[in-house]
Amino acid sequence: MDKVITAIEPQKRNRQRLNISLDGEYAFSLDRLTAAWLKPGRALSAEEIKKLQEQDELESAYTRALHFLSFRSRSIQETRDYLTRKGCSPELTSAVLRRLEEEGYLDDARFCREWLENRSAFRPRSVSLIKAELRQKGLTDEVIESTLAQANLQESELALNAARRAVGRYESLPEETFRLRLGAFLQRRGFSYAVASETVRRLWKETRNSRDGQDTR
C-alpha cells in the first residue's frame, strides 16, 4: 500500500540531510539531492521507497569516497578497500567505483604516473621496489610496466638521487664507514649491491673533491 509524505524536515546536525515522515511518522532520511523532487502530500509506493533508499545509499557512499580522494590520489583498489571498511556492500562499492571512474576521479594509469613522479622527485628508490609498492596498491602489471616504459627511469639515476639526499649525514665519516652506511641505505631502498657500490664510490669521490676544494681556499 502507498504511503503519503507528511513532512520533510532538515536534520539539526546535518542540514544536507532531510528526515522524511510517512503517514505522520518518521520513516527514513535522505540527502537533499535524492529528495529534491519530493513534496509533502506525495504518495510513495513500496518500490519507490526502496529505490529512494538505494539512491541515498549510493549518494552517501559516493560523497564519502570523494572525501577520501580529496586528500591525495588513490588507486581503484585503495578506494575499494576504503569503502569495504566503511561497510559498503560489494554491489554498492562496485557502483561507486564505476561512477568515480566515469567522472575521472579514479584512473589507475594516472595514479601510477603520479606515484612514479612523486617517488622520483622526493623519495627515490629502485624500480623493483617501486613496482612492489604499486602492486600493493592493486595496480596490474600491465599498467605498471606500461607506465614505467613511458617514464624510462634509470636505476643509476634513481640511486644517485637517493644517495645525494642522504649523503649529508655520512660525509664526515671515515671512508669505510661512509661506504658501509651509505651502501646499506641504498640497499634498503631496493638497489642492488652493484648499483649501490658504484653510487657510493661516486659520492665518496664527490665529497672528497668538495672538501679538498674548500680546504684550499
Which residues does residue 30 pair with via DSSP β-bridges, in sequence order? 18
For the chain, domain boundaries: 1-44, 47-106, 108-151, 156-215
Query: How would you write the pLDDT of the chain (217 residues) with one tens digit per residue?
Result: 889 999 999 998 888 889 999 999 999 899 888 888 899 999 999 999 999 999 999 999 999 999 999 999 999 999 999 999 999 999 999 999 999 999 999 999 999 999 999 998 899 999 999 999 999 999 999 999 999 999 988 999 999 999 999 999 998 899 999 999 999 999 999 999 999 999 999 999 988 876 655 554 4
**What is the Cα 112 distance to its own chain's centre?**
10
Question: Which CATH code for domain 47-106?
Answer: 1.10.10.10
Name the amino acid, one letter, at 105. Answer: Y
Q: Which amino acid is at 140?
A: T
Q: Please report, for residues 30, 170, 196, 207, the alpha-carbon distance to residue 201 in angstroms, rounded to integers and kept in the order given.
A: 65, 13, 9, 10
From 206, 207, 183, select the one nearest 194 (Cα to Cα): 183
Instruction: Name the grid cell of 149.
Output: 616504459
The answer to whether the CB of 49 falls within 8 A of the CB of 71 is no
